[in-house]
Amino acid sequence: MKTASKERLVAIASPLAALLAWQALADAGMLDTRYLPSPWRILLVAQQLALSGDLWLHTRASLYRLGVGFVLGAVPGILIGMLMGLNRYLRAALDPLIAATYPIPKIAVLPLLMLVFGIGDGSKIAVVAVSVLLLSAINTMTGVRGIERVYFDVAKNFRSPPWKLFTRVILPAALPTIFAGLRISLGVALVVLVGAEFVASRAGIGFLIWSSWETLAVEDMFVGIIVITMLGVATTQVLKECERYFLPWRH
C-alpha cells in the first residue's frame, strides 16, 4: 500500500475509533447522556433534521458564507503578501497597518460590518474575508521573504524575464507557506463564521447551535457542532489535495 493511501486510512480510522469509544462509554452508563448524548442518538437526530430539510438549510447557508468570504479574503491577501514580500517600500507602508489591525478580534468588528453590509449574508461574508485576508497576506509575505537570494541571482544570470522569475522561482518557493497560511485561515474563518452566526442570523450552523442551546435541545446542538467539525475536516482535506497537486515535490 502506498504511503498516501496509508495516511488516508489512518485519517479515517482515528475519528471512527474515537466515536466507538464514545458510544461504548455512553452504553456503559459512564457518561451523563442528558448533557453528552451518545453518537447513535445524535445520528438519529441528525437524520430527522436532514429529512426535515433544516440541516441542509443551515449547512448550505454556512458553506456559502464560508466559501465566498474565503475566496474574497484569500485572493487579495495573497496578492498583497506577494507585493509586500517583493517591495520593501510597500512593506514598510503596509506592515504597520497590518500589525495594528491583526490583533483585533475579528468578531469585534462585526457590529461595524453589520452597519455597513446589513444583518444578512454580507456582514458574515465580510468578517470571514477580513480574517482570511490578514492571515493570507502575512504568510505569503513571510514565504516570499524566505526565498534564498541565490535563486534570484541564478535567474538574473540567466536573464529570466520578470514573468518567468515569478512563475519559476517566486511562486513555487512561496507556495508551501501560502498553503500553510490558507489552512490556518480556514480554521480561523470557521471560528469567526460560527461566532457571527451566533449573534445575528436566522440560518447557519452557528444559529443552529445557539438556538438549540437556548431551547436545551442538546442533541441538536451536538449535531451542529459535529457538522461544523465535518466541514472543517472536509475543507481542510480539499486544501491538502490542492497542495498535493501544486506541490508534488513535497510528497
- The mean per-residue pLDDT over the stretch 140-163 comes to 78
Q: Report the alpha-carbon angle 108-109-115, nearest 5.
A: 130
Q: How far apart are CA 251 and CA 101, in angstroms?
A: 36
pTM of the model: 0.81
Give me the count of residues in the chain.
Answer: 251
Percent of the chain residues topping a pLDDT of 90: 9
Output the pLDDT for position 72. Answer: 93
Output the pLDDT for position 207. Answer: 87
Domains of the chain with CATH codes: 37-250 (1.10.3720.10)
Q: What does the DSSP 8-state code read for residue 249?
A: G
Q: How does residue 229 score in pLDDT terms, banded at 50, 70 and 90? A: confident
pLDDT tens figures, 23-68: 888 888 887 777 788 888 888 888 888 888 888 888 898 899 999 9
More confident residue, 193 or 248: 193
Q: How far apart are CA 26 and CA 45, in angstroms?
A: 16
Q: What does the DSSP 8-state code read for residue 169?
A: I
Out of 1-10, 72-81, 92-101, 174-183, least confident range: 1-10
Grid cell listed for 176: 508551501
